[in-house]
A and B are shown apart, each in its own frame.
Chain A
Amino acid sequence: MITIPYLTALTTYFSYGLLFAFGQLRDFFRRIFDWWSQSNLQDCFNRPISSPPDAWFDVVERISNDNNKTLKRTTRVNRCLNLGSYNYLGFAAADEYCTPRVIECLKKFSASTCSTRIDGGTTTLHAELEECVANFVGKPAAIVFGMGYVTNSAILPVLMGKGSLIISDSLNHNSIVNGARGSGATIRVFQHNTPSHLDKVLREQIADGQPRTHRPWKKIMVVVEGIYSMEGELCKLPEIISVCKKYKAYVYLDEAHSIGAVGKTGRGVCELLGVDTADVDIMMGTFTKSFGSCGGYITGSKELIQYLKYTCPAHLYATSISPPAAQQIISSIKVVLGEDGSSRGAQKLARIRENSNFFRSELQKMGFEVLGDNDSPVMPIMLYNPAKIPAFSRECLKRSVAVVTVAFPATPLLLARARICISAAHSREDLVKALEVLSTVGDMVGIKYFPAEPKKQQLEGDRVKLE
């Protein structure tokens, strides 16, 4: 639940109203108002880079000769501090342990198998990867795919179908939404991260049964994420699991942002929140973020994986995961577990935790409105007002700090935000510099909604309740 001051809400609505009015006018006076084209924000997104997305990276400068309508790449680059990539453990760039092994593997297995897993795309490397992932996550078996998005959207149609019910968190990722839609199951939504509402929905649904026929549901699955990438919040997993156990619903946990990033040994939210992995029926995750590779996995019981390998479309019809990417995952997991013979993994895990908590508390001290929980490396800073999006993004980039801004339709209309992703690759100096820049820009743009001491309790009264 986010609360926002009345004045801010009003001005934000007013601002959108203004945009709307101008948009309407533009239809009549197209030439006069051409500069109000929707590409007004264009330069804040899709910024190309020309280096790996490490702690510092080269952002390619772009120029526009037609008021931002089209952007041309130049050869100039701007060395920026990277606060945007999901490089939680710092495996994005070439790594002393991983890269030589990845290149070795490329020589042996080449870049692609050009075949599906079920035909001729399973190499010894794939078998090793699945065993390694299952061990790391703490489940009996695993299956891997070449893309995280496909993992969600191809698994749900296999497990759920007509007559079954998927109960999904209201802020779940698009891949889950698409997977659920593709399955043909009935979909109900519960309030974001609210176990009590989940309880209510489950009770109602079990009592009502299927729509129209009122037959009992075949099965019910509750789908949640470990860390919500737009909110930076940790899932209330223990409570949700106890609710699901009470109603015999299956639990599907998407750990795209949490695996590798949180927990004492990087094993994700289950480890962080003290949940037994046996209580989660299906654990999904991606390798794009913490492990600096690509692809996704599903772990679960041996039978579940066997069934998925028999019938999952992504296993049967999609090219198997590229061997170098598979090797990168194996090597980075070994580093995290300390099996490379060094303590780099443990250091990385400690660093990302320290970095995240330091950065979050400093931002809060400065008066920014920061969402999310402690330990989460994702921290959205609320901007609210649409005009503040490009202002914040451009001013930060001018000062060599690259941030991600997110606006409608990825967020609700009122809740535009900038999102910071902290990495273990950031040094303390990097973070201090970033904080200085954010503070300056924050003053300029006027987004320090809690100046000086945060007096949350007193402010609570005059705020609009928003979800």
Chain B
Amino acid sequence: MDAMLSSFESMVKSASDWVAFALDAPSSRAVVFGVPIRGHLLVEGLLLVVILFLLSQKSYKPPKRPLTKKEIDELCDEWVPEPLIPAITEEMKYEPPVLESAAGTHTIINGKEVVNFTSANYLGLVGDEKLQDSCTKALEKYGVGSCGPRGFYGTIDVHLDCEARIAKFLGTSDSILYSYGLSTMFSTIPAFCKKGDVVVVDEGVHWGIQNGLHLSRSTIIYFKHNDMKSLQSILENATHDNKRAKKLRRYIVVESVYQNSGQIAPLDEIIRLKEKYRFRVILDESNSIGVLGSTGRGLTEHCKVPIEKVDIVTAAMGHALATEGGFCTGSARVIDHQRLSSSGYVFSASLPPYLASVAITAVNVLEENPNLITKLKENIVTLHKGLSDVEGLEIASDPQSPIVFLRLKKSLGSFKAELQVLEDIANHVLKEYSIFIATSKRSTADKCKLPAGIRFYVSAAHTESDLAKACESLKKATAFVLAGQ
């Protein structure tokens, strides 16, 4: 132990001697410009060099070992994709009934005449003589398709006439035509709502709106279906103490008559809220144009709200107007903006001219025959009353809605199970009583959570006996199907 200690001591001593010698070495005592350079400066200088050298080196990184070609090949070989579609189950094999004549209020299925409640032919204009005439003339003059988008010679004079006619009818400054009802909403919304904008939307909106919102990449907040209290509290939360929100664009998106429930949005209340919290309103009038209001001008007329208060109005024309396509209407600035930046307008072939000409005629017919709307309203009241006491079913829709929406009184827990029961009822009604009704089937891509139901689309062309027969048959069929449960 002692020996080790003493040898260690001698080592330290010799080292310190060596250092002292090195510091006393003549070179370390050199005098530069009269300043003697002490030895430790030399050491510090050396240290500085070492530090600089280390700093100039890249920091330590474990060596990268990218996958070799062979490894990638193996990964590619091992990878097994899922099948393109899931396995086909029995329920996917559903085939809808095939119509053998026009989809008017009476149509033919399997050689049998049935009363049709599946067409949103609210004014009974399918097969109307005036519409057929204008359609024939347009087909003879323009052919069928327009062979190009609006920008590239796909704008035909009837398109411009139709846009002007719709704007005049609704009392707006301009309107824009889309070539398909479904694309109207999912093109219009992303043209206005951008990333970061706040959009407050009803949870019951149809897929077209959902898709539009998804494509817009805005911040989406859902409020409870047609619940104004819920809307107000969300608007309050979104704007209260949130200075950032004041700088963002803010929208409320609602449907006038909800496809998924038949409820009617209380527009007067929504307008009051929008003005209070300073939001813009986008309103889908697909199922209300030609239906609501004393002259069929839609929800704005129904709620006695001036149409200028609604910033953007869209609608599909495949309902009351008995044609196809859609339109958006509003101020000239709103419309002009879409002509340059709405994808479904810019990048799609324009509406076939004959359908635009049918739309013009349909609006004319609607304006000339106010009794159509009176008749439709009577029919809605009759059917609503007749269906209000079906055992096991309840009406979820508004008494004034042209869609009478019935759902099961007793919830079965899952959408699928409920839909199956309702489908059985619909099939039974069609087979036994020749009444054609449809259930609210839902796509897997659809995020709506409202319960399933049976839809009756009421038409002004339904006769009293049609309606009575429908109510009677549904009662019997429901009793029959529910008894078998």
Contact = CB atoms under 8 A, between A and B. Distances in A.
Interface string A287-322: 111011110000000011011011111101111001
A312 B443 contact: yes
Contacts of A207: 67, 71-72, 75-76
Interface string B318-337: 11001110000000000000
Contacts, number: 333
A107 B443 contact: no
A182 B318 CA distance: 24
Given A249-B81, A288-B147, A307-B85, A114 B318 contact: yes
A367 to B, nearest CB: 25
B473 interface: no
A93 B142 CA distance: 6
Given A85-B153, A113-B119, A207-B75, A304 B85 contact: yes
Contact of B183 (A84, A147, A323): A147
B443 A175 contact: no
Contact of A325 (B131, B145, B153, B442): B145
B338 to A, nearest CB: 13
Nearest to B80: A248
B349 A306 contact: no
Interface in B79-115: 79-86, 88, 91-94, 96-104, 107
Contacts of A117: 96
B153 A49 contact: yes
A308 to B, nearest CB: 8
A92 interface: yes
Given A294-B145, A310-B94, A46 B126 contact: no
Chain A: interface residue count, which band? 35 or more
Interface stretch (B45-53, B268-276, B299-307, B351-359): B351-359
B180 A146 contact: yes
Chain B: interface residue count, which band? 35 or more
A278 B104 CA distance: 40
B425 to A, nearest CB: 15
B348 interface: yes
A73 interface: yes
A215 to B, nearest CB: 11
Interface string A231-250: 00000000000000011111
A96 B141 CA distance: 13
B39 to A, nearest CB: 58
Contacts of A404: 151-153
B349 A294 contact: yes
A120 B179 contact: no
Nearest to A145: B180
A111 interface: yes
B116 interface: yes
Contacts of B148: 53, 84-86
Question: Which 7 pairs, one residue from A and one from B, show the smallest C-beta to C-beta distance?
Answer: A120-B118, A319-B318, A147-B180, A119-B438, A149-B348, A288-B349, A318-B182
Given A110-B132, A149-B179, 4 more contacts: A91-B145, A206-B79, A207-B71, A250-B81
26 contacts: A45-B151, A46-B150, A47-B153, A48-B157, A49-B157, A54-B143, A73-B160, A86-B147, A102-B144, A103-B136, A111-B131, A111-B323, A112-B323, A119-B96, A121-B118, A122-B96, A147-B179, A153-B211, A173-B347, A175-B343, A206-B75, A293-B144, A311-B444, A313-B207, A316-B442, A319-B182
Interface of B: 67, 71-72, 75-76, 79-86, 88, 91-94, 96-104, 107, 116, 118-121, 126-127, 131-132, 135-136, 139-148, 150-157, 159-160, 179-183, 186, 206-208, 211, 214-215, 259, 316, 318-319, 322-324, 339, 343-344, 346-349, 351-352, 354-355, 358, 436, 438, 441-446, 455, 457
